[in-house]
Chain A
Amino acid sequence: MSEALLSVRDLSVVFAGDDGPRTLIDNLSFDLGQGEILGLVGESGSGKSLTCRSLVRLMPSPKLAITSGAVMLDGRDLTKVSEADIRDVRGRDIGMIFQNPTSHLDPLMHIGDQIAEGIRVHRGVDGKAARAAALDILAQVGFPHPARQYNGYPHEFSGGMRQRAMIGVALSCDPRILIADEPTTALDVTIQAQILKLLMDLRESRGLSVIMITHDLGIVAQTCDRIAVLRQGKLLEIGGKRDLLGRPQHPYTQNLIASHPSMPARQAAMSSHIVHPTAVVPKARPLIEIDDLHVRFPVTGRGLFSGGPREFSAVKGVSLQVMPGETVGIVGESGSGKSTLARALLGLTPISDGHVSFDGADIVMERAKALSKLRQETAMVFQDPYNALNPRLTIGTMLAEVLAVQDSVPKERIPERIGELLDLVGLEREFAGRKPLSMSGGQCQRAGIARALAVNPKLIVADECVAALDVTIQAQIVDLFRDLKRRLNLTLLFIAHDLAIVRSLCERVVVMYHGEIVEEGPTEDVFSAPREAYTRALIDAIPDIDPDKRLVPPRGGDALIEETSGLVTDEIS
């Protein structure tokens, strides 16, 4: 590492809460070298985002204050310079990009103008020069038609293009340091690979130094030079990525690495659990039979003078059978139709064409019968555990409600059953009296699973149910599913965009793309020898925790075309 460009010394940040001060960042020290990518890894609440906000004094709340330490850049201590000076540092020396480009871009402003705004303010140039500079930056961050796309609004672009625009805004004033706060967490795996590639290219071409905040060790392994592990505001260890990933010193880091779904040890442990249900239950009838299913939605915005109705096909001719006790993973990028498929299967979305039957009851032909069967024998677990639980109900009340409606347990046995359910999902029984807001994300998701189990389901549909959780919690929830599946002989339909998790949990996998199944088969076969180019691109795009397995951003193929086609509206009109 060359001489440090930015150097953080003994940084402490304290939150002045109502019940006394709390130290959120505790004596943190690290250096960032010229042209270096430093990964800041930790779970939510570890203080990794706050650390980076503190570098440019952008405190999320006025109750937070830097109490000690120094942030040295060019011989100046950024914690001590004036408000006007730090404003000059922001954007011009240190740029920032965020996890959610949608909320961080101004929805009412052309994306080009948002890039030009920084150039005008920082460089004091006129509108025309700023526009020219912004066009240049749009091209650099991968907009294929800068002149036309300059006047696009953020909502007209796909998530990946919005993140490119966000990067363009951050780079508008040519900063030397870029802080990237979970820049790809909200993106699909193939898009993620492209954005990471862009960041690395920009590092090369501009000599940019990057601080990459992420919870995904795969990303740091693929992109960073050095890694710092944070926990509860403290720096646990810092070092070169090979050293740190190869020989982690701290037990927490070791656990973090072991929890990563791409770890060979974890995968081996999983495959030994895989039971082939056809062997266990011979001559079984499929629990779910989907035959040539089509789901079409009318496109909104249809006007009096715009001709006939237009339709969007979310699912196009999907056929699938799921045997009782089987665990099937459905993977695909956002918009591939995997959630629509699940919703159609549960009778939550009207079916346009084709047949779906659950345990012999056809949802189209015998709707009433099939629906009552579905409501009694299936349950769903949702992505966002907080939004899926009623914040005003305690977990006990919520479970009692389900049990009372289902009428499967006599009234006096309900409290006992609630206790059993909490035991099943690994929550203490005292959680019956708690409300979602006083619980962590992982605990809420366990409660959500308990609610699903309360109906005594044959089938559980889990829709991206671990996507919002930290890695170590993800691993725990996946273990819980594995355990429940074995004990209750559940059939599990596991929808995820995270291929590594599907690989570790499911015995069969279905790959969806643009509403169709492009590949399906036993998980290991599909992952080790994918037949379709799309599946291979999807697998190659997963950042592996082994730094020597290079990240291959998908080249060519449909995935790239969709991403670089620019204005989404162009495709419609």
Chain B
Amino acid sequence: MHRYKFVLYRPLQFLPVLFGISLITFVLVRLIPGDPARVLLGTKSTPTAIAAIRAQYGLDQPIWLQYFYFLQNLAQGEMGKSILYKIDVLRLITTRIEPTLALVLCSVLLSLIIAVPLASLAARSNGGPADHIVRFISTFGIGFPPFWLALMLIIFFSVRLDLFPVSGYGENLADKLYHLILPSLTIALSLSTVLIRSLRTAMIAELKGDLATAARARGMPESIVFWRHVVPNSLVPTVNLLAVNIGWLIGGTVVVESVFALPGMGQLLVRAIFSRDYMVVQGVAMVFACATVLVNFIADIVTVAIDPRVKQ
């Protein structure tokens, strides 16, 4: 079991990473032109009102001191108060995290459900008609931006066929999942194209490789050769690719949540940026960064679990 020891000490390596992320997001947010106090007050803004708001949120302090307070709060598990919503950023995030988390999970599951059979089909008919069709679809999928795909799905499934809701998020579990189908499909369609390409290439190489030859030479039927030897060995490189893409996808939910009006973190982030709600932007960026780090950590654990040769 000593191969899993890294699970214990790897989190220590996250600390400097998270520190760097906090510094970068903190500084970058403040580099955006504009002033939260001015946005908040809108037409009613007077110099004294602006100064009062700035003092209230500590924005009149020097930037290094603001960062120090930010870190101090962070250490106590607080992320400050939203200027726009007037509540704790952490509480705000907890109310918004569920749709995003559900969206990412559903998208990843759906993309695997699409990618593994299609890649298997393509690899096993290497050069045949099924292979050409799958390759065509996956090239096609890479070419379309998610926002366009989302609109097309809405027009077709929601407006024409009236199968799925146009937007929003449900109340109970079934209703929520029902609302998540189209957004997840949007993300899964783009994500699966990447996975199909990687899996197909790996499977073709394994099918032609020594491993498959040896399995056939001891009389294994093609189904065992494929599912017991080729598939697990092809998944090894794809796990890391998937992890990298999930990291990218967490940021990508911003677009899909906006199109489908899902009340998730992506939508919160967009609104916070427009209103220069520094605390919220920082908070959401920190959560996204932590999630990305966590996903890669999980991918490392999965890789070690699949592949006995890997030592972290």
Interface residues of A (CB under 8 A from B): 56, 58, 60, 87-92, 95-96, 98, 100, 103-109, 117-118, 121-122, 153, 155-156, 166, 169-170, 172-173, 300-301, 303-306, 573
Contacts and interface: CB of A to CB of B under 8 A. Distances in A.
Contacts of B2: 303, 306, 573
30 contacts: A58-B213, A87-B220, A87-B221, A88-B219, A90-B218, A96-B217, A104-B214, A105-B211, A105-B214, A106-B229, A106-B233, A107-B309, A108-B308, A109-B228, A117-B218, A121-B219, A121-B220, A121-B221, A153-B308, A155-B308, A166-B214, A169-B218, A170-B218, A172-B218, A173-B219, A303-B2, A303-B5, A303-B9, A304-B8, A305-B5
Given A117-B228, A305-B8, A300 B216 contact: no
Nearest to B127: A62
A58 B218 CA distance: 11
Contacts of B308: 107-108, 153, 155-156
A104 B220 CA distance: 14
B219 A103 contact: no
Interface string B179-210: 00000000000000000000000000000011
Given A301-B311, A305-B5, A104 B213 contact: yes
Contacts of A156: 308
Sort A-B residue pairs by CB-CB distance and give the 3 closest, nearest first: A91-B219, A91-B218, A90-B219
Contact of B9 (A118, A305, A573): A305
A58 B225 CA distance: 14
A281 B306 CA distance: 62
B224 A121 contact: yes
B12 interface: yes
A74 B113 CA distance: 47
Contacts of B224: 117, 121
Given A305-B5, A305-B9, 11 more contacts: A103-B210, A104-B211, A105-B211, A105-B214, A107-B233, A117-B228, A118-B220, A153-B309, A155-B309, A303-B5, A306-B2
Given A103-B210, A105-B214, A107-B233, A306 B5 contact: yes
A348 B209 CA distance: 34
B162 interface: no
B307 interface: yes
B307 A304 contact: no
Contacts of B307: 107-108
A118 B217 contact: no
B237 interface: no
B6 A103 contact: no
Contacts of B145: none
A4 to B, nearest CB: 22
Contacts of B228: 109, 117
Nearest to A121: B220
Nearest to B307: A108
Interface string B284-312: 00000000000000000000001111010
Interface string B1-26: 01001101100100000000000000
Interface in B230-275: 232-233, 236
A100 B210 contact: yes
Contacts of A121: 219-221, 224
Nearest to B6: A303
A121 B9 CA distance: 43
A56 B217 contact: yes
B311 A300 contact: yes
A103 B209 contact: yes
B227 to A, nearest CB: 12
A172 B216 CA distance: 14
